[in-house]
Amino acid sequence: MTTQNPLGLKKIHHVEFYVGNAKQAEFYYRKAFGFSRHAYRGLETGDRDLTSYVMRQGNINFMLSAPMGPEHPAAEHLKKHGDGVRDIAFLVEDADHAFNEAVKRGATAVTQPHDWQDDNGSVRHAAIATYGDTIHSFISYNNNNGHNYSGPFLPGFISQEVEGEGVGLMIVDHIVGNVELGKMNEWCDFYRDVLGFFRYITFDDKDISTEYSALMSIVMSDGQHNIKFPINEPAEGKGGKSQIQEYIDFYRSAGAQHVALLCRDVLSTVAKLQENGVEFLRVPDTYYEELPDRVGEIDENIDELKRLGILVDRDDEGYLLQIFTKPVEDRPTVFYEILQRKGCKGFGKGNFKALFVSIEEEQRRRGNL
Ligand code: FE2
């Protein structure tokens, strides 16, 4: 296991979504997921091309951006992919170093290092490409060039606080990428060779094959275990369409499949999300009959878990509680995982089968099997 960090990554700074209507997306993330609006840029701040809202809950920052016209590259992104993740942005020690090192190690440059500034100071910013049309920005606040920023978020944004009723979401646990058939190893090598990540866990089709929804997955992690990016590729099912292929067909390329958000009390978080109207996948009730044998002693009441539809899985170190939303767009693409970890560092392998049976049921209803 390596602890090298060649790019000087510190953590995920924010996740930027390109959406068709940022104003309405803001309302959805605030009212349904309990985020607070924290910052804004748009016509009122002199931004005539792109409008963005920064949504915050715990240590999670989501930027929701919509193009103001067809000329902005976001419009092309939306036309092709629908709403989706554009940028998984890292806070880094030095954006120039991160960018130069990444490009030297084989990354494709998207944005050259540059100053990003307003009256509150400046940051350094650069970006490289990852799977599909997704990018990784590098942002540094303090480096040898004396960059320092005191504004509410990033240069160009004004503070705009609209309080949401938080549901207890704390931090991004992992972000999963779906890549094309045969491309998983290539992208895992990219995260290894360019970002210095290592293979944390591998799931093959024996772990996660049902009749249709077969997939392969490798979890890549940074040396500090702060950032985990599982990479999925479709695998041959028994004649149906893998859920990963369904995503790729509708997203029209590789892209981010789900963002997993960690919470401290999954029962109360999920109860609030359901009250707010967030739609979750449900597994058959028989899942809960088999649960005690599979996971042994747990602190939670099984009837309560069943009522909310929360799943449990165990590894050597403990257990985790997790649940998955349905896709949050019309296209069956991006969705969320809500999870709580009680020692377990896994990803819910024991739930794959039950989950994929429900996903196939959804795919069948969509006419996509
Ligand atoms: Fe996940």
CA distance 330 to 74: 18
CA of 164 to the centre of ligand 1 (A): 25
Q: Which of 347, 343, 354, 356 is nearest to 289 (CA)?
A: 354
Q: State the distance from the centre of ligand 1 to the C-alpha of 296, rounded, in angstroms.
A: 22
CA 247–ligand 1 middle distance (angstroms): 15
Q: How far is the CA of 260 from the centre of ligand 1 (A)?
A: 5
The CATH number of domain 169-366, selected from 3.20.20.70, 3.10.180.10, 3.40.47.10, 3.40.50.150:
3.10.180.10
In terms of phi and psi (left: phi > 0; alpha: psi -120 to 50; beta: otherwise), the region of 188 is alpha
Centre of ligand 1 from the C-alpha of residue 261, in Å: 9
User: What topology does CATH give the domain 9-162?
Assistant: 2,3-Dihydroxybiphenyl 1,2-Dioxygenase; domain 1 (3.10.180)
Both tokens of residue 219? 């979890």
Distance 141 CA to ligand 1 centre (A): 30
Q: What is the mean pLDDT of each run of 10 residues along the chain (369 residues)?
A: 81 98 98 98 97 98 98 98 98 96 98 95 96 98 71 96 98 97 96 95 72 85 92 83 94 98 98 98 93 94 97 95 98 98 92 87 91
Instruction: Determine the Cα–Cα distance for residues 171 and 204; give it in Å rounded to an integer.
Output: 28
Distance (angstroms) between ligand 1 centre and the Cα of 262 equals 10
Q: For residues 128 and 6, is the Cβ–Cβ distance under 8 A?
A: no
Contacts by residues 205-208 (CB-CB < 8 Å, ≥ 24 positions apart): 205/235, 205/236, 207/349, 207/352, 208/349, 208/352, 208/353, 208/356
User: Domain map of the chain by residue range?
Assistant: 9-162, 169-366
78 CA distance to ligand 1 middle (Å) = 24
**Do the domains 169-366 and 9-162 match in fold?**
yes
pLDDT at 204: 73
pLDDT for the residue numbered 1: 45
Ligand 1 centroid–CA 150 distance in Å is 34
Give the start-end residues of each E strand in 154-250. 158-162, 169-178, 198-203, 215-221, 228-234
Bridge partners, residue 84, by sequence: 18
Residues, CB within 5 angstroms of ligand 1 (ion): 260, 337
The predicted pLDDT at position 235 comes to 86
CB count in 10 Å sphere of residue 199: 13
CB 171, CB 62: distance < 8 Å: no
Instruction: Give the strands of the sheet with 255-263, arranged side by side.
Output: 198-203, 215-221, 228-234, 169-178, 255-263, 335-342, 318-324, 311-315
| Tokens standing for residue 16 | 């930027």
**CA 336 to ligand 1 center in whole angstroms:** 8
Residue 206 CB contacts under 8 Å (≥ 6 apart), including other chains: none
| 347 CA distance to ligand 1 middle (Å) | 6
258: CA distance to ligand 1 center in Å? 7
Contacts of 150 (CB under 8 A, 6+ apart): 120, 121
